Amino acid sequence: MNRPLVIVLDDSQHVARQCADWSGLEARADVRFLSQAFASEEAVAAALADAEIIIPTRERTAFGASLIGRLPKLRLLALTGGRAQTLDLAACTAAGVIVSNTGGKHVGAATAELAFSLILANARSLPQADASMRAGGWHEGLPLGDVVAGKRLGIVGLGKLGQRVARYAKAFEMEVVAWSQNLTTEAAAAAGVAYVGKDELFATSDVVSLHLVLSERTRGIVGEAELAAMKPGACLVNTARGPLVDEGALLEHLRKGAINAALDVYGQEPLPRDHPLRTLPNVVLTPHLGYSAAPVLAEYYGESIENALAFLDGKPTRVMNPEVLEGRKA
């Protein structure tokens, strides 16, 4: 009897196996771990052609309708995390593919902590200091650092993540203001921060941190006008999604030295080796580490294994498209 094939995708840090106990699943299925990003949909389809169960890591590989249609053996997509905007759930449902998800109780803390780490890294020029030390240097050529106490942090998107970052900032004695398309003065006050208009936020903040979900309404929400309005030397922090920002406009302002940036997310991921962002001294870069922390991945992979085993038992759990199950009953 052929054993089902389970493919774990996007394990770019080679940590999936150590984050959870795979023995129960490996006793019942062949489990393969893939680490490299795919160059094209054709490459994805070829690599996953025989998989019955796929466990992707968040949104690192997109599963659109075209790809779903090219995976005839796929029966379960065991998503890590609560949702993925690059997953076409309707296409999965139409193809009879069950989609399950996981919790994410540590994600907010992991991402918010990284965002504030980027704020501090920019303020104290930590990447340059580290590079100087490793090259045998000391103070030579290093810019003077700044302090964040007393500075204004502008938060774009005051949801759970934005509110957490606001609390961190207040602990560091920063003034905090916020704006989003749906935010009200009352909601901002309830979170302990001041509501300001979008123009004022970008024009007066020393640091602007983005915490919005990417959608057609928010794509490019930070464009030329917003970047041009920022104070000289102000820092744009993005741990949300790359396409929230007009990358061309951002590069222009960074090259001029008008502003700084601290980025964890990009329009294209992985960021190409020859991307100009990698060459700019006024940018702190991390490789989309927001949720990539041990407690987060332990929960993601642990619950994905549970979902895969439940599916093999004929009792799928955490199902995002239960209509597939109803169709099978009918």
**Structure-token pair, residue 117:** 């780490």
Residues in CB range of 247: below 8 A, 6 or more apart: 266, 267
- 245: β partners: 222
Residue with tokens 């890294």: 121
Lateral strand order in the sheet of 283-285: 194-195, 175-179, 152-156, 207-210, 235-238, 260-263, 283-285
Reduced to 3 states (helix: H, G, I; strand: E, B; else coil), residue 117 is helix
Whole-angstrom Cα distance, residue 193 to residue 73? Answer: 51
Active site residue 241: yes
The catalytically annotated residue of 241, 253, 303, 306 is 241
Name the helix (H) or strand (E) containing 238. Answer: strand 235-238
Active site residue 269: yes
Whole-angstrom Cα distance, residue 84 to residue 81? Answer: 8
The catalytically annotated residue of 52, 75, 288, 306 is 288
The catalytically annotated residue of 175, 269, 275, 318 is 269
Active site residue 253: no
Q: Which residues are catalytic?
A: 241, 269, 288
